[in-house]
Amino acid sequence: MLMELWVVPALPLAGFCVLALVGKRLSRWLVAGIGAGSVGLAMVGAIYFSHDFMAFEPTGHLYRESLWTWLNVGGFSPDIGLYLDPLSVVMMLVVTIVGFLIHVYSIQYMAGDEAYSRFFAYMNLFVSSMLILVLADDLLILYLGWEGVGLCSYLLIGFWYQSAANARAAIKAFVVTRVGDTAMAIGLFLLFTQLGTLDIQEVLVRAVRQWPVGSATAIAAAGLLLAGAVGKSAQLPLQVWLPDAMAGPTPVSALIHAATMVTAGVYLIARMHDLFIIAPPVQTAVAVIGAATLVLAGCSAMTQFDIKRVLAYSTISQVGYMFLALGVHAWSAALFHFMTHAFFKSLLFMGAGAVIISMHHEQNMFKMGGLRKQLPFTFWTFLIGACSLASLPLVTSGFYSKGLILWSVWATGHPVLWGAALLGEFITSVYTFRMVFLTFFGEPKGEVSARPGPIILGPLVILAFFSTVAGCVHIPRPLGHFRLFARLVEQALPVPPMQPLPIATEVVFQLLMQGSVLLGVAFAYVLFLRRNDLVAAWTARPAGNALHRFWFSGWGFDWVYTTLLAKPYVWFAHASRDDAFEWIYRGIGAINRGLHEQLSRTQTGLVRWYAVGIVIGAVLLLGLVVFL
């Protein structure tokens, strides 16, 4: 039976409380047990509830659970309540399953760290916040999870706080996402002021009833929520925090990129889809932002040296695909790609982590190479993840999810966006296989100092399995037309407005996409394995060099923000250190002191001066009396 759903987010939260309060006094095994165990239990609970949900099919395909009224003032009474529908079922399952595997992996990966309990405490809080976010019944409680996720990213990116650079990256992540959050908060004010509630379902119902399609208020509300989504999901123009977020330990990156945080924006838009549908310009903006982001971030990914930064830019790019799908109303496609991406991206991050600890914490791919032989296990699992990221045909889950996105974009009548997405496919396979070739092929350049242990490899194998088979839940028409995933999700989200195109067209477009992917692999093979000299020759030229640096630095966004915002802010802050208003009061004080000095000079102590004063005064007074 569907009851006591609150247990799912409460378990990791309880884990956090225990670890934060007494974690230091517990043995390492106990810490690991509580940390991973609480998420594991949450996963069991999530699977149990999902099973019940699908088995019993509650009326309206949703289940609500109200815990208590958060507050009740002047008609504003948000509930602390949970909401389960197919959308949140998918999110909850992915968050807990991937989150649990990352926790297990961390048991060994973080084993040498002295702040072991602090790490697991933050990770548990992270998972708990994300679960609150995806299960929230009310926008205010969603905002609680939303901010909790932002806080945890700050805590974990700056986990190794001794280095100032890490702490800076953490602050950057928090502040940049807070910019989006603030826009979102204003959006909530607007929604409440206009609609009188923040209950998600009620907001959607009333918005559709009150606002005509394309009304200014709807556009403003959807736009403000989009700004929040863009911040959390690291899309243009707020994507700058994510590449720097690599400062955190690798499991953290896996958690941020795969299961939590960056997908929050995708979830928000999917959850509020009715609002976005009645704001067509915002919907278009979502698609355009997605398409632009996926190309820009892909170009940056091709130029990175640091294996984790390649993956970071690839996340931005892949979330761009999800935004693109959302923008063309292909809701289930976006969610499908979210799921497969969670599997293969966490696999890639954890594989990269295994490589990094095997190489004395070396992250530069140009100092790796030839690891295929030395780390075969890691290599094969990483390769499976990479193939899925590049969406190689038939045997990878990425093939099915991205294929669905591209097809939906075309079939909903967006040829330009489709072109960008196709270009993105090519770029994706170039940077993915560049990464694979540089790391695992060629001549060995570094020493392998340690081999990853079984607790690290176990999650990799499981995720490799998922990365391969997860695509089977939705198979396109030319290959068999199996729509399990879409059928489930379409209980909660509308069906995309696709044109009825013939199967032959779909086959052609599948082939086009595969052509672009395979071309990318071949390109990477030639440039980064056979003819390294070609790349060197290109980047040696001034134009090539400039382009390389431009892409490498993420298209100059950081520079613009630093110059236009951060530096002036710091300058003004330092200028305000001594408080400009202070001068007003100093001035008043100085005038007083000046008067005091002038007047005290008249107190000479000489009787004749006083006598003169009295006489002058008397004359003046008499004169006044006489002449006035």
What residue ranges bind other proteins (CB under 8 A)? 20, 24, 68-76, 80, 114-115, 140, 143-144, 147-148, 151, 154, 158, 161-164, 167, 171, 174-175, 178-179, 181-182, 185-186, 188-190, 192-193, 569-570, 572-577, 579, 581-582, 584-585
Toward other proteins, which CB reaches closer, 158 or 554? 158
Radius of gyration of the chain (CA): 30
In angstroms, give the least distance from the CB of 186 to other proteins.
5
Contacts of 4 (CB under 8 A, 6+ apart): 65
Please state the closest distance from residue 25 (CB atom) to other proteins, in A. Answer: 12
Residue number with CB closer to other proteins (146 or 343): 146
Helix (H) or strand (E) holding 26: none
Least gap, CB of 592 to other proteins (angstroms): 11
Residue 257 DSSP one-character state: I
Nearer Cβ to other proteins, position 179 or 461? 179
Q: To 10 degrees, the CA torsion angle through 230, 233, 237, 240? A: 150
In angstroms, the CA 147 to CA 467 distance is 30
Residue closer to other proteins, measured from CB, 177 or 340: 177
Query: At its nearest, how many Å lie between other proteins and the CB of residue 610?
Result: 31
CB closer to other proteins out of 120 and 154 = 154
**Is beta strand 63-69 parallel, antiparallel or unpaired with respect to 79-84?**
antiparallel
**Residue 89 Cβ vs other proteins, minimum distance, rounded to whole Å:** 25
Q: Which is nearer to other proteins, 559 or 585 (CB)?
A: 585
Least Å distance between CB 154 and other proteins?
Answer: 7
The answer to whether 158 and 171 are in contact (CB under 8 A) is: yes
SS (HEC) of 194-211: HHCCCEHHHHHHHHHHHC
Closer to other proteins by Cβ: residue 494 or 594: 594
- With respect to other proteins, which residue has the nearer C-beta, 72 or 604? 72
Residues forming a β-bridge with 199 = 138
In the complex, the smallest distance separating the C-beta of residue 73 from other proteins, rounded to whole angstroms, is 5
H or E segment to which residue 136 belongs:
none
- Rounded least distance, CB 256 to other proteins, Å: 18
**What is the C-alpha separation between 413 and 213, in angstroms, rounded?**
20
**Mind spelling out the 3-state secondary structure of 359-412?**
CCCCCEHHHCCCHHHHCHHHHHHHHHHHHHHHCCCCCCHHHHHHHHHHHHHHHC
Beta carbon nearer to other proteins, 70 or 377: 70
3-state helix, strand, coil in the chain (%, to 5): 75, 5, 20
Q: Which two three-digit tokens encode residue 184?
A: 């979102």
Closest distance of CB 574 from other proteins, Å: 5
Q: Would you tell me the crossing angle of helices 216-232 and 280-301 to the nearest 10 degrees?
A: 20
CA 285, CA 236: separation in Å to the nearest integer?
11
